Amino acid sequence: MQKNLSVKVWRGKQSGAFSDYLVPRHESQTVLDVVTYIQRHLEPTLSYRFACRVGMCGSCAMTVNGQARWTCRTHVAKVAMNNQLEISPLANLPVIKDLATDMSVFFDKWAQAKGQFKGSTTRHEPFAKVLPESVERRAANAGIECIGCGVCYASCDVVNWRPQYLGPAALNRAWTLVNDERDINQTERLRAVAGDAGCHVCHTQGSCSERCPKKLSPTTSIAGLKRASARAAVRGKL
Amino acid sequence: MSQDLSTNIAQARRWYWQRLSAMVLAICVLIHLAVMIYAVQGGLSAAEILGRTQGNWGFALLYTVFVIAAAVHIPPGLSNIAVEWWRWTETSAVNFARLFGLLVLLSGLRAVYAVVVP
């Protein structure tokens, strides 16, 4: 292991430039450790976002050597090339400053995709019984661990080509609710996720599933939405 | 064109037509390849091909279905390329792609006619 790591970090907003830093190398060092070292010791005005540091909150995603990654769980040893790192903000999102992006569009699209649960019962009624082994419950389970980090959204070519596209995370969220038998907003949700801003423009390239740090498969969820909305369209319910 | 080409239902319909035609194409391509691999063993000449196809209504039916499936399958994908890479509007992309599909249909059916009708 080399003594120092050579790091390029994006400074600025949408336009800006990379600055160079030398960071001491440690065992089991994560990319977030590197960014934190730079801010605490070399560049106090560096802006970046993190919270939990243990892969739960989804705040610290950045582009590391060209790929979107969660930086708190990404070891330098795994991603450094020739002892070098290049760290920039997530793609497909407006940059606020340095490594911090504006995630509002990303989360607004979750709302547009009807990502809110809407039930028909109140807290005064008994719990719904959902069979754990039912097909729907298992489909929902497969997508439900999303931490909203935006890695899939930043890795998606279709988001780049069609800025209106809801993106993998929002559609994955919608798919978990399509499979929630308690939800009563199904037709409205399918209407929201079909069409040229929704699931039908996905090319099934699978970058989202390839890069998802939680190993979810938004591609599978989107394929499910395509089938569900095609069925609804055939029945004239879309 | 009276219907709105960019509505969600129109998109969903284009998607399932593309998928259905893909299933038909998969079968047609397999038959086409199998016949080709079998037939090429005796050498490949125009006379031999026409000897097999002319007056053969089985081949006529197969390739007519093949051409129709291709003409249905191409427009949705082509319109996506036009929107995403060439930055066309949805309506002009879909109309252009449909015209192209029509061209594929006509030239394909003409080719089937040429090799089947003696």
Question: CA–CA distance from A224 to each of A175, A194, A221, B22 (Å)?
Answer: 7, 11, 5, 18
Beta bridge partners of A139: none
Q: Is some CB atom of chain B closer than 8 A to the CB atom of A226?
A: yes
**Banded model confidence at residue B3, pLDDT cuts 50, 70, 90:** low
**Domain residue extents for chain A:** 4-101, 104-234
Q: Is some CB atom of chain A closer than 8 A to the CB atom of B83?
A: yes
- Alpha-carbon span B6 to B3, nearest angstrom: 9
Q: Is some CB atom of chain A closer than 8 A to the CB atom of B3?
A: no
pLDDT at A179: 97
The residues, any chain, with a CB within 8 Å of residue A160's CB and separated by 6 or more, are: A91, A92
Q: Do B8 and A232 touch (CB under 8 A)?
A: no
- Alpha-carbon span A182 to A133, nearest angstrom: 16
At residue B13, does pLDDT exceed 90? no
Q: Tell me how close the Cα of A238 comes to any Cα of chain B, in angstroms.
A: 6
Q: Contacts of residue B10 in chain A, CB cutoff 8 Å?
A: 195
At residue B5, does pLDDT exceed 60? no
pLDDT at A164: 93
Q: What is the pLDDT of residues B68-85, one digit of tens each?
A: 999 999 999 999 999 999
Mutation pick from B9, B18, B23 vs chain A, by most beta carbons of A within 10 Å, is: B9
DSSP for A168-208?
HHHHHHHHHHHT-TT---HHHHHHHHSSTTTGGG-----HH
CA nearest to A201, candidates A168, A155, A235, A176? A168
The residues, any chain, with a CB within 8 Å of residue A188's CB and separated by 6 or more, are: A114
In this complex, the residue of B13, B19, B90 whose CB is nearest that of residue A196 is B90
Q: Contacts of residue A189 in chain B, CB cutoff 8 Å?
A: none
At residue B2, does pLDDT exceed 50? no
Q: Do A198 and B8 touch (CB under 8 A)?
A: yes
**Domain residue extents for chain B:** 18-116
Mean pLDDT of B16-29: 95
Task: Give alpha helix (H) positions in chain A.
Answer: 31-37, 76-79, 104-112, 135-143, 151-155, 157-161, 168-178, 186-193, 207-211, 218-234
CA nearest to A174, candidates A161, A195, A188? A188
Q: Is some CB atom of chain A closer than 8 A to the CB atom of B86?
A: no
- Alpha-carbon span A115 to A189, nearest angstrom: 8
Q: Do B11 and A226 touch (CB under 8 A)?
A: no
Identify whether the C-beta of residue A89 lies closer than 8 Å to the C-beta of residue A97.
no
pLDDT at B45: 85
Q: Do B8 and A162 touch (CB under 8 A)?
A: no
Beta bridge partners of A84: A6, A81
Q: What is the pLDDT of residues B43-71, one digit of tens each?
A: 788 888 888 889 999 999 999 999 999 99
Mean pLDDT (chain B) is: 90
**One-letter identity of residue B92:** S
Identify whether the C-beta of residue A222 lies closer than 8 Å to the C-beta of residue A153.
no
Q: Do B7 and A200 touch (CB under 8 A)?
A: no
**Banded model confidence at residue B6, pLDDT cuts 50, 70, 90:** low
Q: Contacts of residue A203 in chain B, CB cutoff 8 Å?
A: 80
CATH dotted code for A104-234? 1.10.1060.10
Predicted complex ipTM: 0.73
Q: Is some CB atom of chain A closer than 8 A to the CB atom of B5?
A: no
Q: Is some CB atom of chain A closer than 8 A to the CB atom of B11?
A: yes
pLDDT in tens, chain A (238 residues): 889 999 999 999 999 999 999 999 999 999 999 999 999 999 999 999 999 999 999 999 999 999 999 999 999 999 999 999 999 999 999 999 999 999 999 999 999 999 999 999 999 999 999 999 999 999 999 999 999 999 999 999 999 999 999 999 999 999 999 999 999 999 999 999 998 789 999 999 999 999 999 999 999 999 999 999 988 888 888 7
Q: What is the chain A residue with the closest CA to B85? A: A161
Per-residue b or e along A40-51, where b marks 16 or more CB atoms closer than 10 Å to that residue's CB: eeebeebebbbe
Q: What is the chain B residue with the closest CA to A161? A: B84
Q: In 3-state terms, what secondary structure has residue A91?
A: coil
Q: Tell me how close the Cα of A60 comes to any Cα of chain B, in angstroms.
A: 30
pLDDT at B4: 60
At residue B1, does pLDDT exceed 70? no
When computed from its CA atoms, the radius of gyration of chain A, rounded to whole angstroms, is 20
pLDDT at B47: 87
Q: Is some CB atom of chain A closer than 8 A to the CB atom of B113?
A: no
Q: Do A162 and B83 touch (CB under 8 A)?
A: yes
pTM: 0.88
Beta bridge partners of A69: A62
**One-letter identity of residue B24:** V
The fold for domain A4-101 equals Ubiquitin-like (UB roll) (3.10.20)
